[in-house]
């Protein structure tokens, strides 16, 4: 039986898909927090290159992927689509389970898809350095790699709890030539404020974003780069879904259910948005799109959809999104990349419209499924990805009960080779349940 569906290098998509062309009504605009009026797109120019600012609001259905970006993508893209037959057998399910494997990238996750694009656009516009935040370390290592490709310096504020949990992610970020600072730090006003209130703060993505933005605003030749949430980031990630559609054709399949984990929403959106576009154009049916989050950071399942800041120090514009509140500091779960209080406005809109179904799971159950996946398929999911794996296992188990042969597609956002401490805790039975 064929279990791997691979594309040739020349089949790499040459354009990204822009869902802004296909939404029923435009997104609510970002607001300037000082006036509560819509933010002029130019106000973002202090932080982002012009090309990304334009992509935030572009309404063309397809956007060309610049040739130098394609060239870097071709080092590992197109990534494989695989069928998890051994997992299906272990679950005794009639369901067919596929996964799109983004762990094949140089740093081990989908994050390189936008890191390379953002580093490129900054380099051609003359930026010298980028600052950013990282939770799990996947985004920080992706941006460090991408900055190296285009000759940019890079400073990464890494959430303290992940900095302590993941010494080898730290080493990888340094290996690719970036500076790394645990956050909260005494280097910024935002960090000093947090440390004064709580010297033992574990940090959060919201805090690290504040620090990275503050640094970018004050240093010359420096801009800021965000690894998720914003429209241009989701646009760059659509290369995942565009490849997957071609690969599903090779497999002669169209999924009934697509599952992906959501931190800020970028890998999940990158997978599902091109499928949403296909359904919108009337070419295919629309699958169930299931977004999976941790029970201890339940942004979509418990958060309100309202205007809020993207960071703790309230430096960012106000975005209309599901949020747990900009000062929410999530518990120190192992899926560091899912510890974010907010959500991509595009994902929030599609949840509000009933297109995306959110679900939350506890990390104890999530790791049980991840261990099963590793033992059957031989690939170790990142703790974030493990949330998607668990959702797929749940659907496949229900298929076994109801004898339904559904096709399930997993957005496999990254591997967990640097997450062995989390797996050791899972095997020792010492993982904490959310209260």
Ligand X SMILES: Cc1ncc(COP(=O)(O)O)c(C=O)c1O
Residues found near ligand X in the complex (CB under 6 A)? 109, 135-136, 138-139, 228, 261-268, 337-338, 382, 384-385, 413-414
- Rounded Cα gap, residues 54 and 170, in angstroms: 33
- Rounded Cα gap, residues 411 and 229, in angstroms: 17
Residue 265 Cβ, how far from ligand X at the closest point, in Å?
5
Residue 51 Cβ, how far from ligand X at the closest point, in Å?
20
> 184 vs 265, which CB is nearer to ligand X?
265
Count of beta carbons in the 10 Å neighbourhood of residue 179: 14
CB burial class (10 A; 0-12, 13-18, 19+) of residue 246? middle
- Rounded Cα gap, residues 236 and 279, in angstroms: 20
Residue 229 Cβ, how far from ligand X at the closest point, in Å?
7
Residue 94 Cβ, how far from ligand X at the closest point, in Å?
29
- Rounded Cα gap, residues 389 and 415, in angstroms: 12
Residue 99 Cβ, how far from ligand X at the closest point, in Å?
13
Phi, psi of 377 (to 5 degrees): -95, -15
CB burial class (10 A; 0-12, 13-18, 19+) of residue 24? exposed
Task: Note whether 260 and 358 are within 8 A (CB).
Answer: no
- Rounded Cα gap, residues 9 and 306, in angstroms: 42
> 93 vs 139, which CB is nearer to ligand X?
139
Alpha helices for 176-256 (secondary structure H): 189-197, 205-218, 231-251
> 135 vs 241, which CB is nearer to ligand X?
135
Residue 144 Cβ, how far from ligand X at the closest point, in Å?
14
Q: Which residue is nearest to ligand X (CB)?
A: 337
Residue 320 Cβ, how far from ligand X at the closest point, in Å?
18
Residue 267 Cβ, how far from ligand X at the closest point, in Å?
3
Q: Which string of DSSP letters, residue by residue, matches 97-155? A: EEEEEGGGSTTSBTTHHHHHHHHHHHHHTT--EEEEEESSSHHHHHHHHHHHHTT-EEE
- Rounded Cα gap, residues 91 and 147, in angstroms: 42
């Amino acid at each position: 039986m064929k279990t791997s569906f691979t594309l040739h290098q020349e089949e790499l998509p040459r354009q990204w898909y822009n869902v802004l062309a296909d939404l029923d009504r435009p997104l609510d605009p970002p607001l300037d927090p000082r006036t509560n009026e819509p933010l002029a797109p130019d106000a973002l120019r202090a932080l982002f290159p012009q090309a990304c600012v334009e992509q935030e609001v572009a309404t063309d259905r397809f956007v060309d992927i610049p040739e130098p970006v394609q060239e870097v993508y071709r080092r590992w893209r197109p990534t494989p689509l695989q069928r998890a037959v051994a997992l299906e057998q272990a679950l005794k399910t009639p369901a067919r389970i596929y996964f799109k494997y983004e762990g094949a990238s140089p740093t081990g996750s989908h994050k390189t898809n936008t890191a390379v694009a953002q580093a490129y656009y900054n380099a051609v516009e003359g930026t010298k350095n980028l600052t950013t935040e990282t939770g799990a370390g996947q985004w920080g290592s992706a941006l460090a790699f991408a900055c190296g490709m285009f000759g940019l310096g890079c400073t990464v504020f890494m959430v303290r709890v992940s900095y302590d949990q993941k010494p080898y992610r730290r080493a990888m970020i340094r290996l690719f030539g970036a500076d790394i600072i645990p956050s909260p730090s005494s280097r910024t006003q935002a960090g000093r404020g947090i440390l004064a209130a709580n010297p033992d703060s574990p940090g959060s993505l919201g805090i690290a974003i504040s620090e990275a933005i503050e640094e970018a605003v004050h240093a010359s030749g420096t801009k800021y780069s965000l690894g998720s949430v914003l429209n241009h980031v989701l646009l760059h990630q659509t290369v995942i879904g565009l490849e997957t559609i071609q690969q599903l054709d090779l497999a002669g399949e169209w999924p009934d259910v697509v599952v992906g984990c959501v931190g800020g929403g970028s890998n999940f959106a990158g997978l599902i948005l091109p499928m949403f576009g296909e359904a919108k154009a009337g070419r295919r049916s629309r699958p169930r799109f299931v977004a999976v989050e941790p029970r201890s950071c339940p942004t979509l399942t418990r958060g309100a959809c309202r205007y809020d800041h993207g960071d703790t120090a309230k430096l960012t514009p106000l975005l209309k999104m599901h949020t747990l509140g900009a000062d929410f500091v999530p518990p120190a779960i192992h899926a560091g990349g899912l510890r974010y209080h907010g959500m991509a406005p595009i994902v929030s809109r599609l949840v509000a419209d009933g297109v995306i179904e959110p679900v939350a799971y506890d990390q104890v159950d999530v790791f049980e499924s991840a261990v099963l996946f590793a033992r059957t398929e031989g690939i170790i999911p990142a703790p974030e990805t493990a949330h998607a794996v668990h959702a797929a296992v749940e659907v496949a188990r229900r298929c076994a009960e109801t004898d339904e042969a559904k096709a399930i597609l997993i957005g496999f956002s990254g591997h967990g080779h640097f997450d062995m401490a989390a797996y050791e805790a899972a095997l020792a039975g010492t993982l904490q349940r959310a209260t």
